[in-house]
Chain A
């Protein structure tokens, strides 16, 4: 579904990713771990198409209608409409726009892209309420301005609500677990598990092992100094929990 080959990325003048390879198939869950500054967030931003990150060499392809497509030639919105989703580490505040209105605009942008009619306001309201309920989000939350005056945990939950509404084929969760208390982490994780099918894939970027207790990854990768230095199964995460990253860096 997503293939990254020998990816080199610069942010301003600094090379952050230095030859990264990653292969993700439908139905898989991947976890990417790594020390601070190793390039984890850069990876997610590049896949989503953030304009400040420049790919200097290498490729990213993503399957659209079962054919690999060069992601780097697609605008961020085009990527999103084709089922790529990034749950932001720091969701952005958009004053004046109610959450539900934003969700409807995003949902209908995908509908339009897929050539189906947009959902009526009323039907959409019911649809969103059901998703909110699954994530134990109070419905008053839907009328609040997008991410404005929400706590860190609420913002993260809101990202997963967006994921539930947009139902992406490939979801990148960038440190969704940080800032969540134990109960929220459980609720959000259960929500993500419910959204998981054989046809979609999830990439979790995380510092901590604890989210992996709820969402079980098929693969764990360690990203250090711009490359994936080790891949394995969930036992690799346990080992890191135990020993830290130092032993992998030499």
Chain B
């Protein structure tokens, strides 16, 4: 990583409207990673002993690991000593306060991002937790949720106010030894969202976290923990953006979901981190571990993601189907353009009887980008009657891009039924001409084609997200279809 702080030219901003930088005073730690930094993060957050222990175990384990290289992505090894592990807007470092006390510059930032936080303009029907660099700024609609017994707050707040829940579940689905980036996250995570839905509650609001990286040279290491108790339901949305900078920035997050008996979690992401410029300079390295545990009987977890940003995406939202009759779903649209690289997919681990999984992956690659689907379906000996259906479609735009599909299937119980389909197609000039010859403008024509290709995934997104997702993809592909 370079230490070049310059943001790229205003001309390039046309393509990425979230590329601005907010001018806020911050409290920052010096660059570099050491046991001392890990201890300082824990101290500044006034954490109980068990959290510090977790961090230190992770840090010591991380020192023994080497960065993985199996993904189909290329980048210079990350210099972990050049990264800053903590950056927080001033006054917020000592723990979250009420949203009404937020720096007006920050409110303006989130207004520009389309996430109004002011009491008056808040989006109805969605409770939002906003994470800015290393800390959560606050959470909307908290009182409304409390009445139902729903806990929705920043992870830091949860560590203070609900340590018993955090202690019970932190690292349960993604243990600190899990993988290189998850281990790093376990050592240095600074904030994230926490959510607990009590038994029998159908959460009436969509819960949402919006992640914003602002400071230069900073990594974002957030951690989200979501527990749906028996017979509960929650729909959770996640959005991300970052300023346009010439340097690469690291985002290594961990998300853990746990669903008890008959509980259902729908987790949707629209990821639009800055992806670098047309020459491939700058952009976020998005190295994320997301995993859900269907612990209870007939529980259900579905991941829906629209991955449209980041210079490099390395991400495999997965489900461990432990409870009998549980179900895991993965719906993904991954778009790469310019020199972006994405290696993304899922893992479905069938343990319980009659567990089902469904994978629908749509990869769109344009220009010189590389787009890889990597998925594992594993049927354990105990998983009597398991079923999986996977469908992986790739759409190529132009002829310099590449698309790869690596489906791994391991079956240890012969009652399993597994289906896998894969297709590769191209947006052709003929399709565009046909649609234009009926009066549709080029953008509209491309939008229609993308919509058609991604339909099965978009219909899983909450409505406001799906409109946004179509617009985002159209904007990204503008000018790249010939």
- A residues sitting closer than 8 Å to B (CB atoms) are 48-52, 75-77, 79-81, 85-86, 88, 91-97, 102, 105-106, 109-110, 113, 145, 162, 166
Contact = CB atoms under 8 A, between A and B. Distances in A.
Contacts of B439: 77, 80-81, 106, 109-110, 113, 166
B444 interface: yes
Interface string B416-446: 0000000001001111011111111110110
Interface string B439-478: 1111011001101111100000000000000000000000
Given A109-B439, A110-B439, A166-B439, A97 B434 contact: no
7 contacts: A48-B437, A94-B448, A96-B453, A97-B448, A109-B441, A109-B444, A162-B438
B453 A76 contact: no
Interface in B210-265: none
Grouping DSSP codes into helix (H, G, I), strand (E, B) and loop, the B interface class, with mixed when no group exceeds half, is: helix
A157 to B, nearest CB: 16
A166 B434 contact: no
B448 A77 contact: no
Contacts of B433: 49-51, 76, 92
Given A77-B441, A105-B444, A109-B444, A95 B452 contact: yes
B455 A96 contact: yes
Given A51-B429, A109-B444, A94 B437 contact: no
A86 B437 contact: yes
B434 A94 contact: yes
Nearest to B453: A96
Contacts of A97: 448-449, 451-452
Pick the 7 closest A-B CB pairs, nearest first: A96-B452, A80-B439, A109-B439, A92-B434, A106-B438, A97-B452, A77-B436
Nearest to B452: A96
A85 B449 CA distance: 21
A109 B439 CA distance: 6
B440 A95 contact: no
Given A76-B436, A76-B437, 6 more contacts: A49-B437, A80-B438, A88-B434, A106-B438, A106-B440, A166-B438
A218 to B, nearest CB: 25
A146 to B, nearest CB: 8
Contacts of A79: 437
Interface of B: 425, 428-431, 433-442, 444-445, 448-449, 451-455
A99 to B, nearest CB: 12
Select the residue from B435, B438, B455 with max chain A CB neighbours within 10 A: B438
A85 B439 CA distance: 9
Nearest to A75: B436
A93 to B, nearest CB: 8
Given A76-B436, A80-B437, A113-B439, A94 B431 contact: yes
A110 B437 CA distance: 12
Contacts of A145: 452
A117 B413 CA distance: 60
A88 B438 CA distance: 11
Nearest to A77: B436
A225 B56 CA distance: 82
Select the residue from A48, A77, A166 with max chain B CB neighbours within 10 A: A77
A52 B433 CA distance: 10
Nearest to B430: A92
A183 B425 CA distance: 35
Given A77-B442, A92-B430, A96-B453, A102 B448 contact: yes
A22 B449 CA distance: 35
A96 B435 CA distance: 14
